[in-house]
Structure 1
């Protein structure tokens, strides 16, 4: 089991750790504004009201023991810690996503979701679709669960197309009656497999973390080179999928992906996402940034906001409305 963490603060900002104890100042009221918040405001005052962090985790290994097969050992990150962190960004609503270390035991996630409530929270769980009971799924739905996660990337699992197809169809069978999504975490090079599978699932699919590309090691800032995301294996397929209307993409976890201090590779990808399907791109922090230390997600949040300044209402889609539509939170 891995216990070490990786510093990535050189990519996302200062080397100081994110404070989880600060008390947020009163928020700037932008509800009457029809345009983007001024760029000279602090990040928490630029983030649209009622925004969602569409991908974060709560981890309490002492209260909820991790799986024996977990590939890393986390520290404690409670719901209270999460709310304090989110307040520094001005984010009000949370999507709890089941991390790999808990396997199919969703107890920690469900406890946090029950405490937060469905008006501010949603959950994406991991299950064995062949053994999970329908009554259990119905109970979880009442708590705010709206998705099933298929996570290959975190555990380094590779599937052939036939196995991936069978896995996704088994999940779709139990997701479809409840209008749940399937959240997929696979490397970008596997995305072409999804092109022929997703249209036949009959459910909405969400792809984690920019599609998890394997980005070049070259420092783009140092070499001053442009970046063409279409050179990445699988990127054409990813764009094709999000254009169809049944697939969403999360812009999240940049520190897991880029080796460029300016994140220009990810910015190029994000611009293509927003150009191809502005209604199906969603923002997330990936808090508490498991396996990494010293992460300050504010600069990433700020450049997500900057990408939206050219189009009125785009930030509201990225930070709020797209997630609400995907997870049925707009009906709460």
Structure 2
């Protein structure tokens, strides 16, 4: 890891914090102390805490952890109801290190049309624009063409989680070696990154690529580094919710391999994150 490396997407969870009624899972204890013990094993001290979907808009667990690490080494991405949050609350969170809001459309299986997504994105962007915050989206790659058409009018920076959540062919499919441009939405993703106001996280490859060699994610990663290496950041996705016991080291090592080959390791692990999270 280069000096000052960032983990741009990880979570803290604890059973002591209340869950939303429709929570998809019950969390184990993965608190701030556990998180930093993990981060020390991969050589990271600077983190971005992201609100897990199971807590909805109650950010207590995240904010308590953010208070412990402090704004010099920590940033937060919270969950909000854009129609119910007040600016004084957001400003207080900003002082703690919050720099973004999360809109999780993928794992919560939100159904939307292009019109309804545009309205939803605008409602979030209008709230965070005065603070200069980031709009983080967990969205399937097949929906990124809609995002491409909407992004220019939002007036906020965007970060797309988890490699763009691609739908990859089976590991036995004859499609390998994969042409990433045959994945619906990939070209729109490249366009967004090259426009300069959108970033992407290299994270959670295991959620989309069942291949132990990560052949699908690798071609996506190498092409994104080639086309828009200044808009890529690294993230571990610790504690790998619903993938308990996962060994993330192979993915971390592959990310370093890809970025070393592109001469972009310092950018992806440090410099791009500093720019994105201010």
Question: TM-score, normalized by length of structure 1?
Answer: 0.82
Distance in 1 separating the partners of 2:175 and 2:80: 45
Q: CA deviation at 1:132?
A: 0.1
Flag the structure with larger Rg: 1
Q: 1:282 — aligned with what?
A: 233
Choose from 57, 74, 78 the match for 2:31.
78
Gaps of 5+ in 1: 1-46
Q: 2:268 — aligned with what?
A: 318
Distance in 1 separating the partners of 2:262 and 2:79: 36
Instruction: Give matches, 1:120-269, under 5 Å.
Output: 120-219=73-172, 225-269=176-220
Structure 1 stretches of 4+ with a deviation exceeding 6 A read: none
Q: 1:3 — aligned with what?
A: none
Q: 1:297 — aligned with what?
A: 248
With a CA cutoff of 8 Å and minimum separation of 6, indicate the structure with the bigger relative contact order. 1
Q: CA deviation at 1:259?
A: 1.6
Choose from 119, 124, 142 the match for 2:72.
119
Q: What root-mean-square deviation, in Å, do the aligned CA atoms of Structure 1 and Structure 2 show?
A: 1.2
Aligned residues: 278
Distance in 2 separating the partners of 1:301 and 1:238: 22
Aligned partners of 2:201 and 2:235 also within 8 Å? yes
Distance in 1 separating the partners of 2:2 and 2:133: 25
Q: CA deviation at 1:224?
A: 9.6
Q: CA deviation at 1:217?
A: 1.6
Distance in 2 separating the partners of 1:103 and 1:308: 34
Aligned partners of 2:10 and 2:47 also within 8 Å? yes
Q: 2:13 — aligned with what?
A: 59
Distance in 2 separating the partners of 1:107 and 1:84: 21
Aligned partners of 2:56 and 2:79 also within 8 Å? yes
Question: TM-score, normalized by length of structure 2?
Answer: 0.97
SS at match of 2:152: helix
Choose from 37, 43, 48 the match for 2:2.
48
Aligned partners of 1:219 and 1:260 also within 8 Å? no
